[in-house]
């Protein structure tokens, strides 16, 4: 006799407590294999596919696309051992328990079967440990009638309708095949509660657009707000002549081999500066009342994507040469734009490099990426009048700004760091002498 197993939203790691359902990858009645991805969710850090540790027949799904669920909430129930089509492998009837905590890997080699298979609906003799699943009819009518099964899968939707006295048979489902979703019940409730229209003054008609502060935007807002609340920051800046740096880059790229980006050269300068001023590669432990100086430089860099601002992290940047840094920046940027960064790619940074010059601006006062101690901002590099060799000349000039946590160091240390960075930009030989 089949056993119904409930699979809950696992701990996605890095302190994440909820995730939004982006897309269901299976439907009720599908056969799933062990470790097969069943749903795609979006956390505040990344998009991930969640694999199920059980093989069998999907008997219920919990939550609709666009709904946010807390960690530990039910995702699906699976009838392990339910009768499937002949081609379904027997191995799918047992659970592997291979859902990692935290979830960074997304299943084993057999996690993606060639196609989904439909099976007969699970009979009433299968007893679920929680809410009893409801089978979706083969075809739902355009509008619910007075008789026949109501096209609802989620017990949560049924409970919401029952608690508020909503007749599900009177609703037209907006889901696939007329499936009634939570949004349909909530719309019906809104219609019931809506007051009679009242004429309002013209000035009050425009209410403005409301955008949910969640997902990536919400995570950015929370992190920046926390930085402002907890970190007593200060900013210093300096203009630097980047003509020699740009010439050095052109010479390196003309020699053949992998191309070196300006960001990679600036990153290499940063790691050298942090070796001289380790106070800025640290964090503050408020509970212990200690400054923790970190042994490795995990360099974050700002990447603007369609989903919002992302800060991927280059691990052990201090041990990488410009070629390796360029390759890693390119790899992580591509993943960021494709929405494929994992939580591990976006956490653990110790210092951030922010090149806002790509937006065509000269300067900024960066907000520290909590819980780091500093961020270096780089403006655009453009021709400007500059006194060079005692004479006025047109040079490639860039503004550098450093925002730092005043708890970890004073202005002398921050100014020394920024001056060293500027000296390396103006004369790359300074960096070579310090290696």
Model pLDDT, residue 135: 39
Among 18-27, 111-120, 144-153, the range of highest mean pLDDT? 18-27
Q: Please work out, in degrees rounded to the nearest 5, the angle formed at the alpha carbon of residue 265 by the alpha carbons of 263 and 267.
A: 70
Does 238 or 143 have the greater pLDDT score? 238
Q: Which of 164, 167, 285, 410 is catalytic?
A: 410
Average pLDDT over residues 340-361: 90
Among 42-46, 202-206, 385-389, the range of highest mean pLDDT? 385-389
Model pLDDT, residue 244: 96
Query: Per-residue pLDDT for 152 more than 90?
Result: no
Model pLDDT, residue 145: 43
Query: Per-residue pLDDT for 200 more than 70?
Result: no
Among 164-173, 306-315, 373-382, the range of highest mean pLDDT? 373-382
Task: Bin 94: left if φ > 0, else alpha if -120 < ψ < 50, else beta.
Answer: beta
Mean pLDDT (the chain, rounded): 80
Q: Which of 11, 345, 406, 423 is catalytic?
A: 406
Render the burial of 215-236: b for 16+ CB within 10 Å, e for the rest: bbeebbeebeeebeeebebebb
406 is catalytic: yes
Query: Per-residue pLDDT for 256 more than 50?
Result: yes
Spans of all domains in the chain: 3-135, 141-192, 232-434
Model pLDDT, residue 412: 96
**How many C-beta atoms lie closer than 10 Å to residue 112's C-beta?**
16
- Could you report the per-residue pLDDT of 93-110, keeping only the tens digit for each? 344 444 443 343 333 333
Whole-prediction pTM: 0.59
410 is catalytic: yes
Q: Show the DSSP H helices in 146-261 as ranges.
A: 155-163, 182-193, 215-230, 243-254
Query: Per-residue pLDDT for 374 more than 90?
Result: yes
Q: Which fold does the domain 3-135 belong to in CATH?
A: OB fold (Dihydrolipoamide Acetyltransferase, E2P) (2.40.50)
Query: Per-residue pLDDT for 17 more than 90?
Result: no
What whole-number distance in Å separates Cα of residue 180 and Cα of residue 169?
A: 10
- Could you report the per-residue pLDDT of 376-432, keeping only the tens digit for each? 999 999 999 999 999 999 999 999 999 999 999 999 999 999 999 999 999 998 887
Query: Per-residue pLDDT for 156 more than 70?
Result: no
Model pLDDT, residue 14: 53
Query: Per-residue pLDDT for 123 more than 80?
Result: no
| Beta-carbon contacts of residue 185 (< 8 Å; ≥ 6 apart) | 157, 160, 161, 164, 166, 168, 171
Confidence of residue 148 (pLDDT cuts 50, 70, 90): low
Q: Which fold does the domain 232-434 belong to in CATH?
A: Chloramphenicol Acetyltransferase (3.30.559)
CATH number of the 141-192 domain: 4.10.320.10
Among 154-163, 232-241, 252-261, the range of highest mean pLDDT? 232-241
């Amino acid at each position: 006799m089949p056993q119904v197993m409930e699979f809950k939203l696992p701990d996605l790691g890095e302190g994440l407590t909820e995730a939004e359902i982006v897309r269901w990858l299976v439907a009720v009645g599908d056969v799933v294999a062990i470790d097969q991805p069943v749903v795609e969710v979006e956390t505040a850090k990344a998009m991930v596919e969640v694999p199920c540790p059980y093989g069998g027949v999907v008997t219920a799904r919990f939550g609709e696309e666009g709904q946010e669920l807390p960690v530990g909430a039910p995702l699906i129930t699976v009838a392990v051992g339910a009768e499937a089509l002949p081609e379904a492998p027997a191995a799918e009837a047992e659970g592997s328990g291979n859902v990692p905590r935290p979830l960074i890997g997304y299943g084993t080699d057999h996690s993606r079967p060639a196609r989904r298979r439909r099976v007969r609906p699970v009979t009433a003799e299968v007893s679920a440990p929680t809410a009893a699943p409801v089978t979706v009819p083969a075809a739902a009518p355009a509008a619910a009638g007075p008789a026949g099964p109501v096209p609802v899968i989620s017990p949560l939707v049924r409970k919401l309708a029952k608690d508020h006295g909503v007749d599900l048979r009177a609703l037209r489902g907006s889901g696939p095949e007329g499936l009634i979703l939570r949004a349909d019940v909530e719309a019906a409730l809104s219609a019931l509660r809506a007051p009679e229209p009242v004429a309002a003054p013209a000035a009050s008609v425009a209410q403005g657009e409301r955008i949910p502060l969640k997902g990536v935007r919400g995570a950015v807002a929370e992190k920046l707000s926390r930085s402002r609340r907890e970190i007593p920051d200060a900013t210093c800046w300096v203009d630097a002549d980047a003509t020699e740096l740009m010439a050095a880059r052109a010479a390196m790229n003309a020699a053949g081999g992998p191309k070196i980006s300006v960001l990679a050269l600036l990153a290499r300068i940063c790691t050298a500066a942090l070796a001289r001023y380790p106070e800025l590669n640290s964090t503050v432990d408020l509970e212990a009342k200690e400054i923790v100086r970190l042994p490795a430089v995990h360099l974050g860099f700002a990447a603007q994507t369609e989903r919002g601002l992302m800060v991927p992290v280059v691990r052990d940047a201090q041990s990488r040469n410009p070629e390796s840094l360029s390759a890693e920046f390119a790899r992580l940027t591509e993943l960021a734009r494709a929405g494929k960064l994992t939580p591990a790619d976006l956490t653990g940074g110790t210092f951030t490099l922010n090149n806002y010059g790509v937006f065509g601006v000269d300067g900024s006062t960066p907000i520290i990426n909590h819980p780091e101690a500093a961020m270096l901002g780089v403006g655009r590099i453009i021709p400007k009048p500059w006194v060079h060799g005692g004479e006025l000349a047109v040079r490639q000039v860039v503004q550098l700004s450093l925002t730092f946590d005043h708890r970890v160091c004073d202005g002398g240390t921050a100014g020394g760091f920024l001056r060293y960075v500027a000296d390396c930009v103006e004369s790359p030989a300074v960096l070579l002498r310090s290696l």
